[in-house]
Structures are given as C-alpha cells and as structure tokens.
Amino acid sequence: MRRDIFQAIADPTRRAIITLIALQAMTPNAIAEHFDSTRQAVSKHLRILTECELVKQEYQGREIYYSLEIEKMKEIDKWLDQFRKIWETKFNQLDKLLATLKKQKK
C-alpha cells in the first residue's frame, strides 16, 4: 500500500523520529531508546516513513541506519508555503492597521 507523506507525519511519534534523525543517521535500536514503546513499534513507524520516502535506509555491515530524505521534506514545505504566504499577508495587514491606529492616537 502506497502511503501519503501527510499521513506519515500526522503521527507524533513519526514526527519525533524525523526530528531525531534530521541531523544524524541512527539505527532502529538507537532510535527506540528515545521512546517509551517497543522496538517493534518503532520499526513499524520506520517502515511507514520509509514507504513514504521520508527516510532512507543505508546498510553498514549488519546494521541499518535511517536518515532523513531532505528532498521529500521539500514536498511538505511546498504545501505549507501556501499557508505561510496567507499568514504573512494577514500579519502585514495587521501591522498596517496598527500603525494607522497609532498615528490617529497622536
């Protein structure tokens, strides 16, 4: 089953895993140490993130290291950017209104 990246980041544990491996690749055991859940539960989250291509696996000997797939994160940023622009416009309008009200008070 092909999963959607937004479905993947909807879960707080998966978001925490993304944050955790953003700067450094980690093994599943190292990732699991940061959570109060089983190694199997963390593996399930990693499988979902891998299916969505948000993380990638790299084999080093018998160990698997998971790291963040930055290019895929850009899809999320692109979607969020539309809302960022809306809020920036709203804040700019509010700034202008506040400046106008401040001038009227003087």
Same domain, 12 and 48: yes
Same domain, 52 and 96: no
Same domain, 75 and 95: yes
| Dist. CA 44–CA 25, nearest whole Å | 17
Same domain, 60 and 78: no
Domain of residue 35, residue span = 1-68
38: CATH? 1.10.10.10
Q: On the CB side of 93, how many CA atoms lie within 13 Å of its CA?
A: 6
Instruction: Look at residue 66 in the predicted model and tell me its pLDDT.
Output: 97
Instruction: Look at residue 75 in the predicted model and tell me its pLDDT.
Output: 87
pLDDT truncated to tens, each residue of the chain (106 aa)?
567 889 899 999 999 999 999 999 999 999 999 999 899 999 999 999 999 999 999 999 999 999 999 988 888 889 899 899 999 999 999 999 999 988 888 7
Are residues 50 and 1 in contact, defined by beta-carbon separation less than 8 angstroms? Answer: no
Instruction: Look at residue 103 in the predicted model and tell me its pLDDT.
Output: 87
Same domain, 48 and 77: no
Same domain, 78 and 62: no
